[in-house]
Amino acid sequence: MFPPINRTYSIPIFYRLSLLLLAAGLFFSSCRKKEDPHETVVFKPKPIAPQDTINYPNALITALNRQDKWVDSVFKTLTPDERITQLMMIEVFSNQGPQHEKDVLLLVKQYKVGGLIFFQGGPIRQASMTNRLQAASKVPLLIGMDAENGVGMRMDSAMQYPLPMLLGAINNDSLIYRMGAEMAHEFRRLGMHLNFAPVVDVNNNPNNPIISYRAFGENKEDVSSKSLAQMLGMQDNGIIATAKHFPGHGDTDVDSHYDLPVIPYGRERLDSLELHPFRHLIQSGVGGMMVGHIHMPKLDSTANLPASLSKPIVTGLLREELRFAGLIFTDAMVMKGVTKYFAPGEAEVMALEAGNDVLERLVSVPKALAAIKAAIKSGRLSQKEIDRRCRKVLAAKHWVGLHQYQPIKIDSLYQDLHRPRANETLRRLAEGSLTLLQNNKSLLPLAHKKRRKIASLAVGATRTTTFQQRLQNQLPAKEFFLPRRTDKKTLARLRKELLKYDLLLISIYGPSIRPSNNLGFTPEERGLVNELVREKKSVVVLFDNAYTLSRFQNIHQAKALLVGYQQLPDVQAAAAKLVLGQLEPKGKLPVTVNQHFQYGDGL
């Protein structure tokens, strides 16, 4: 159903070879017994080649590790303090007013921080603010964003691409490469250089509160191939990608923003599952790696120590054993996974001791600088190591073009962030992801029958949705709505009315455009949906996290069941086309939900 991809998006030969290798691995692995992700596998590591035999996988990694005239010239102008602060990236918001910008400007001018991480705001405001901050900085600032599904994840008036779970359902990785390329265009247009993506965690815990839909799925090969596609799409187009959250945040039920998750597994399990995608991206030349705030006692038994502050994990495993030669970033140093157990200043010293190159989102730049200087004076840290990492950060700035810095052009910025090609990419991603889990007696596609009464119930909505609107043009149906916190009297009246219809189209929406983990419906609201599915011929379409299928105990009794993963308008439009027979289902479930819906399911 998809037209050929535009030739300007032809996939590089390196990427095509990588996909062939992955396909071969998937073929041979399919001949073996299906792997149990919780089964302990005996792993025999391969001998590690001597350090001097390392071959860097691409131009970016080579650039970060070689001498450069611009890097040398800038480095010579920096004081010892400024070499330290080049290793710091601070958070910035373009929607928090003049005082916030004044505070950021102080850190840029007085402390000479090396970079910024933008969060909420708008394109015009962010671009204007970036120009002012760059003009005030002694060294051009390395600017990043935590934009796993594009800049629209963080700012208004910008494209929002699908999150990884939806992408995990797609059987065409070249579309994900194309999305990465579009994201890179938007980053460059906004004067940004580094994306804290892709997420390469293998999410094999349905109760994970923080990764979940942010992962490509539960299969390590899928995660490897799809994260590779996104990474190459960005780096082939001049944006540094950052794989996260090393060494794997997928099997936890604790959110590291609020506490320190504990991963109890040892190397045998990690080598057989969690580390697989990280190894693959390292071998393929990913430029950045973010280390998570997760405690792994089998790798470092120090009490309450997150991986981000662990030398055996950051230096021993990541740098020395896996031979990662790119930039190593901490996860945000403001998160409770660190601050609950380690004070500001001491935490940053420990992060540098562990082997990180860049400290992200510090609690206090002055406290961190003072503590790091004291650690150098006492011998805990060496100025030589600080200098090496500073040169590496400067080399990254050279690679992204900051040696030829130009202010962002504000004219036509909004139009450039909404190119027709980007909209076409989003449409193709939406259509390629739809996963048809059930279609009893070939109920879909639906055809209009004169004497059949159809009701369209939007669960979690208060007004006509895109899905309902697109259907209404060709399949007349009476529209109903089941908002959250509906009172019992209204529920009873709605139940009585809906049971009169011959066919129910039940579309389910989470509380926001981002997927959720539990949908937020009351037991009574879920009970009505379960009853309708049991009692009536029904087509159910879920526009949210696939794991939330388990919130409805009878949903497997639906005559037809379609998963859209998110309520993006393009996804809803694609679902309507599929219901009407204008689109064929191509997606496969990227995770196991329960005994009824397993990884790989999809008609």
Q: Which residue has the tokens 């926001």?
A: 512
Q: Judge whether 417 and 127 are in contact, CB under 8 Å.
A: no
Structure-token pair, residue 459: 């669960």
223 touches 215 (CB < 8 A): yes
Place of tokens 């299969």: 219
- Beta-strand (E) ranges in 196-326? 240-246, 288-291
Q: End-to-end alpha-carbon separation of the chain, Å?
A: 16
Task: Find where tokens 């390590």 sit.
Answer: 220
Q: Which of 82, 86, 91, 85 is closest to 361 using CA atoms?
A: 91
For residue 596, indicate whether it is catalytic.
no
Q: Report the largest interatomic distance among the alpha carbons of the chain, rounded to a whole angstrom.
A: 85
3-state secondary structure of 548: helix
Residues 462-465: contacts with CB under 8 Å, at least 24 apart: 465/507, 465/509, 465/567, 465/572
Respond yes or no: is residue 36 known to be catalytic: no
- 3-class DSSP assignment, residue 289: strand
Locate 509 and state its tokens. Answer: 């929406």
- How many whole angstroms from its chain centre is CA 110? 33
Give the alpha-carbon dihedral of 75, 76, 80, 81, to 10 degrees.
-60
Alpha-carbon distance of 515 to 165, in angstroms, equals 10
d(CA 423, CA 436): 24
Residue 229's contacts (CB-CB under 8 Å, 6 or more residues apart) are 15, 173, 174, 176, 177, 180
Task: From the candidates 331, 357, 544, 601, give the one annotated as an active-site residue.
Answer: 331
How far is it, in rounded angstroms, from Cα 285 to Cα 489? 60
Tokens standing for residue 315? 């230096």
User: For residue 460, what are the CA distances in angstroms to 289, 373, 512, 522, 576?
Assistant: 38, 54, 10, 11, 18
Closest CA to 424 of 237, 543, 570, 572: 570
- Which of the residues 100, 257, 556, 596 is marked catalytic? 257
Give the pair of three-digit tokens for residue 525: 């609201």
Residues contacting 32, CB < 8 A, separation 6+: none
Strand partners, 241: 195
CA–CA gap between residue 250 and residue 325 (Å, rounded): 24
Q: Which residue, 104, 78, 106, is CA-closest to 93?
A: 104
The DSSP call for residue 204 is: -
Q: Can you point out the beta strands (E) in 382-472? A: 435-439, 454-459
Enzyme catalytic residues: 257, 331
